Amino acid sequence: MIDLHTHSTASDGQYSPSALVTLAADASVSVLAVTDHDTVAGLAEAQNAASAAGITLVPGIELDIQWPTGEFHLLGLGIRSVSGNLKSIIMHLQSERKTRNLRIIQKMNESGVQITLEDLENMYPNQTLGRPHFAGYLVSHHVVKTRQQAFDQFLAKGRPWYFDRTGADLDDAVAAIKESDGVPVIAHPLSLYVSWGRIEPVLTDIHARGVEGLEAWHPGARVVECRRLEELGRKIGFFITAGSDFHGEKIRADRKVGRTSGGIKIEDRFWTDELLPHLKNFII
């Protein structure tokens, strides 16, 4: 069993990088990708823990890409070094994230919920802050009962405290990942919010621009949709990956490390037959 999409406290996960690796090892996961949002800060700790636990760590990242509808998240899997261009993209995305956070804080204060950026930083030290952290703050201060309620009522797209932010340029992000010896993979493609009738030409264009893999198996999609995405991805020329997008039970109770859509265990084939052949000079 493997998992090619997880998050730690370096971004918006519940567990530290080392605790995430330990949890994965306890769940009999043999290959784990740590793919925090817009940061590689947790990878060194995760690698040390993986070496001690005897599992293979796939160092990664998840980048926010500028896209007109929905969300476009690009995984960089197998990063062996961080190129100057990738560092620049990370700095840009973190700056954009901070700007959005400050706008959310202003809107919250105007709505009568008093909060400062320092409050959030003290509550979540050394983390890449985003909407899940605001949700956690609202729960801890009894504004809402659950994180999901925070999103449904305030933080989701179309809700009063939601703000768009500028993502990275796709071509720049693809080049930066490849310069870092990684492989670009489009995460949870249904989040693009493109209809089934239009998705093939859209994904074909994304593949033509250098994105090599497609995460067809994700818990945000139904099993029948995942199968359809895998078939379509292969037709276009993508290799196929699968992940849990695990953040932790307190954040998303329905997601388990090592399992994807429908609670299905993630098969080794997504590593041995799909991703691994595309990683250059990857040492197990």
For residue 256, tell me if it sits in a domain: yes
For residue 159, tell me if it sits in a domain: no
For residue 113, tell me if it sits in a domain: no
Give the whole-angstrom CA distance, residue 170 versus residue 20.
29
Q: How confident is the model at residue 129 (pLDDT cuts 50, 70, 90)?
A: confident
For residue 205, tell me if it sits in a domain: yes
DSSP label at residue 37: B
**Stretch (H or E) spanning 99:** helix 84-110
Q: Looking at the 3D structure of the chain, how many domains does it have?
A: 1
> What pLDDT is recorded for position 46?
98
Residue 98 has pLDDT above 80, yes or no: yes
For residue 118, tell me if it sits in a domain: no
For residue 236, tell me if it sits in a domain: yes
Give the model confidence (pLDDT) of 64-95 as tens digits.
999 988 889 999 999 999 999 999 999 999 99
For residue 76, tell me if it sits in a domain: yes
Residue 2 has pLDDT above 90, yes or no: yes
Identify the CATH number of the domain in which residue 222 sits. Answer: 3.20.20.140
Q: Give backbone dihedrals phi and psi of 217, rounded to 5 degrees, phi first.
A: -105, 115
For residue 244 the two structure tokens come to 């849990």
Averaged confidence pLDDT in the chain: 94
Q: How many CB atoms lie within 10 A of CB 60?
A: 26
What type of residue is 223? V
Q: Give the domain range for residue 244.
A: 2-89+172-278
DSSP string, 206-265: HHHTT--EEEEE-TTS-HHHHHHHHHHHHHHT-EEEE---B--TTT-TT--TTB-GGGPB
Give the model confidence (pLDDT) of 240-271 as tens digits.
999 999 999 988 888 999 999 999 999 999 99
What does the radius of gyration of the chain's CA atoms come to, in whole angstroms? 18
> From residue 42, how far is each of 45, 47, 146, 264 by CA, in Å?
6, 9, 27, 27
Give the model confidence (pLDDT) of 146-158 as tens digits.
988 999 999 988 8
Dihedral sign for Cα 28, 281, 93, 243, please.
negative
For residue 155 the two structure tokens come to 């933080």
For residue 137, tell me if it sits in a domain: no
Cα 205 to its chain centre, rounded Å, is 22
3-state secondary structure of 166: coil
3-state secondary structure of 276: helix
Helical pair 223-236 and 196-208, crossing angle rounded to 10 deg: 40
The answer to whether residues 138 and 154 touch, using CB atoms and an 8 Å cutoff, is yes
